[in-house]
Amino acid sequence: MDTIQTLTNARWRKSSYSGDNGGDCVEVASQPALVAVRDSKNPDGPVFTVSPAAFAAFVRGL
């Protein structure tokens, strides 16, 4: 399945630590086969996608 189609109905989430002051924030959407990340200030812009395992490894590394 095309990634664009997969993300059409994605539920994007912003961190609860992010404020509403227009700061640097990212949003994340989880799908069964991928995790998508985008800039909250540019929701129609580019999206970075990785496997759930790769995203979990990234978060553990933080």
Out of 13-17, 19-23, 26-30, give the one with best mean pLDDT.
Answer: 26-30
With respect to residue 42, please indicate whether it lies within any of the assigned structural domains: yes
If one compares 36 and 18, the residue with the highest pLDDT of the two is: 36
25 and 41 in contact (C-beta within 8 Å)?
Answer: yes
CB within 8 Å of 25: residues ≥ 6 apart? 14, 15, 18, 39, 40, 41
Total domains present in the chain: 1
pLDDT of 1 reads 45
CB neighbour list of residue 31: distance below 8 Å, 6 or more residues apart: 6, 7, 10
Average pLDDT over residues 36-62: 91
The first and second tokens of residue 40, run together, are 């909250």
Quick check: is 57 in a domain? yes
The pLDDT confidence band at residue 3, using thresholds 50, 70 and 90, is low
| pTM (two decimals) | 0.76
- Judge whether 34 lies within some domain: yes
User: The domain containing residue 57 runs over which residues?
Assistant: 26-62
Asked whether residue 54 is domain-assigned, the answer is yes
Flag whether 43 is in a domain: yes
